[in-house]
């Protein structure tokens, strides 16, 4: 529900909680943190193994990490536009994996 007094959405409304009773913003931050950790781990794994995929893993890992930090920024500052880079990066990753 839209709050007229604060000119923003009412985040205490039950519509903004997941089925487990957690805040949607908190779940988005947790997903972003998991993606950041996974991207850092995969980059380090490629760096240690010296397989030759480092030229692909560095830019991809960097994009995922930056997009994850933008999601955390979006949750802290209530900026809806900041979720878009994460969605774009995830879409690009899906296209890359399926292509």
Q: Is residue 72 part of a domain?
A: yes
Question: How many domains does one find in the chain?
Answer: 1
Confidence of residue 19 (pLDDT cuts 50, 70, 90): low
Tell me the pLDDT of the chain averaged across its residues. Answer: 78
Q: Is residue 38 part of a domain?
A: yes
Can you give the residue range of the structural domain that contains 46? 23-98
The pLDDT score that the predictor gives to residue 72 is: 92
Give me the helix-helix angle, 54-77 and 24-49, nearest 10°. Answer: 160
Q: State how far the Cα of 96 lies from the Cα of 99, in Å rounded to an integer.
A: 5
In sequence order, the 6+-apart residues with CB closer than 8 A to the CB of 46 are 53, 54, 57
Confidence of residue 52 (pLDDT cuts 50, 70, 90): low
The pLDDT score that the predictor gives to residue 14 is: 64
In sequence order, the 6+-apart residues with CB closer than 8 A to the CB of 1 are 9, 10, 13, 15
Whether residue 34 has pLDDT greater than 90: yes
């Amino acid at each position: 529900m839209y709050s007229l007094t604060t000119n923003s959405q009412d985040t205490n409304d039950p519509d903004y909680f997941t089925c487990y009773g957690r805040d949607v913003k908190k779940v988005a931050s947790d997903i972003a943190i998991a993606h950041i950790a996974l991207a850092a781990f995969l980059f380090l794994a490629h760096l240690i193994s010296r397989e030759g995929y480092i030229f692909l893993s560095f830019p991809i890992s960097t994009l995922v990490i930056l997009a994850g930090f933008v999601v955390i920024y979006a949750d802290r500052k209530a900026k809806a536009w900041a979720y878009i880079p994460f969605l774009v990066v995830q879409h690009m990753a899906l296209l890359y994996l399926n292509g």
